Amino acid sequence: MSPDQIAQIDAYLQRYNDAPLPAFSGLAPAQMHELLYDPWGPQSPVRLRPELPAAVLDQIPFLRLTEEFLRIVHRDGFIKLTALGALPGKYLHELYGFGFIREESIEEGYGKLHRETDAPGLSTVHHNAVLAGLLRKVHGRLTLTKNGERLRQPAHRAELLRCVFASFTKKFNWAYHDGYAAPTAGQTGWAFTIFLLLKFGAEARPLRFYAGNYQQALPFLLTDFPATPWQTPAEQLLACYRCRVFERFGSWFGLASIEAYRLGREQADCLVSPTPLLSQLFALAAH
C-alpha cells in the first residue's frame, strides 16, 4: 500500500471519527469513545465544573452522607464491623437518620432497617468509601486512612466529591444490590446519560426516551439480558436502566428524578427530569 493510499485511509477514518452520528445522539465516534473510556479526561464532551461552591456541594446526598460517615469514624476512632463485615445497627440508624438517602420500603413501612442490606444507599456509601481509599478495614475494624482524614476537612470538599464520584463510577459495582442479569448496564456509559440529560433535559421526558437513546448507542448491552416469556431484552434493559441510573445514581447524587409508578401507567412512560444541580455540577464541553 502506497503512502498516498495510507494517507487517504487515515483521512477517511479521521472524518468518520469526527462526524456526528444519530446513533450517538449527535456525538461523533471520537467523542463517544471519550465518554466511555475517559469520561474525566480533557477531551470528554461532559465536564465536571472546576468551581464547586459549598452551596452546590450541600445539595449532593451521597456526598453529605459520606461526609457524615467519615465524621462518625473520626469521632469514634473506629467502627467494629459485624461478623459479615457490615455496619452495626446503631450506625445504620444514625446514618439513616440524617435523611440524605431514603429507602422506599422503610419510608412506606413495609420494610425495617435491621441490616445493612436493608438500605442499599447506606451500604453503597460504606463500600464506596473503602474503594475510594477513604477508609480501610483491618481485623474487622473500619478506620480512616490518611487521605480520608485529609479529605474530610471542609477545605477539601470539592476534592472529596471528585474522589467519591470517580470511585462510584469506576470501582463500585452498580449491579451489587439488584438481580438484573447484566453486570454493567447503566454503569457502562454513565457519562453518556449525563450528556443526554444535559442536552435534552430542558423539559421532562419519558424514561423510554433516555433508555431508547442509551440502547441505540450501546446495543451490545442487550445481549446480557436473556429473553423470557414475559419480558424482552429491551424491556429488561429499560427496567434495569431505571433502577441503576435514575432510582439510585441519579437520585443519590441529586442529578435527576423519575416519576413514581402509578396505576395504569407503563414504567416506560414515567417522566425523567434533571435537577438544577445537574447543570451546577456538569457542563457540555465546547468543541
Tens of pLDDT, residue by residue over 24-49, are 999 999 999 999 999 999 999 999 99
Structural domain contains residue 154 = yes
Asked whether residue 180 falls in the same domain as residue 285, the answer is yes
Report yes or no on 42 lying in a domain: no
pLDDT tens digit sequence for 249-261: 999 999 999 998 8
pLDDT band of residue 10 (cuts 50, 70, 90) is low
Structure confidence at residue 257 (pLDDT): 96
**Tens digit of each residue's pLDDT (9 = 90 or more) over 218-264:** 999 999 999 899 899 999 999 999 999 999 999 999 999 999 887 66
Cβ count near 178 (within 10 Å): 16
Claim to verify: residue 205 and residue 219 sit in the same structural domain:
yes
Mark whether 9 and 103 lie in a shared domain.
Answer: no
Same domain assignment for residues 168 and 134: yes
Residues 137 and 116 in one domain: yes
Domain annotation covers residue 233: yes
Kindly state the percentage of the chain with pLDDT values over 70: 93
Pick from 195, 187, 190: which is nearest to 285 by CA? 195
Quote the cell numbers at residue 103: 429507602
**140 shares its domain with 230:** no
Which of these three, 114, 146, 172, is where a domain ends?
172
250 in a structural domain: yes
Kindly state whether residues 244 and 156 are assigned to the same domain: no
The residue among 142, 172, 202 that closes a domain is 172
Q: Is residue 70 part of a domain?
A: yes
Query: Average of pLDDT values for 51-72?
Result: 98
Give the predicted TM-score (pTM) of the model: 0.93
In a domain, 48, yes or no: no
What average pLDDT score do residues 268-273 get?
A: 96
Closest CA to 98 of 61, 59, 151, 73: 61
pLDDT tier, 3 (very low <50, low <70, confident <90, very high otherwise) = low
Among residues 172, 194, 228, the one where a domain terminates is: 172
Helices (H), 181-263: 190-200, 207-217, 233-241, 251-252
Cα(259)–Cα(267) distance, integer angstroms:
9
Q: Are residues 145 and 199 in the same domain?
A: no
Task: For residue 200, tell me if it sits in a domain.
Answer: yes
Residue 60 to residue 58: CA distance in whole angstroms: 6
For residue 12, what are the domain limits?
1-37
**223 and 206 within one domain:** yes
Residue 150 lies in a domain: yes
Q: Do 182 and 151 have their domain in common? A: no
Average pLDDT, the chain: 93
206 bridge partner residues: 271
CA–centroid distance for 232 within its chain: 25
Q: Does 245 share its domain with 137?
A: no
Q: Which residues pair with 138 in a beta bridge?
A: 141
Mean predicted confidence (pLDDT) in 158-186? 96
DSSP state of 244: I
Residue with cell 426516551: 209
Cα gap 152→164, rounded to integer Å: 11
User: What is the number of domains present in the chain?
Assistant: 3
Pairing relationship of beta strands 135-138 and 141-144 according to DSSP bridges: antiparallel
SS3 state of residue 142 = strand
One domain, residues 63 and 157: yes
Check whether 11 has a pLDDT greater than 70: no
Task: Determine whether 112 is exposed, middle or buried from the number of CB atoms within 10 Å of its CB (0-12, 13-18, 19+).
Answer: exposed
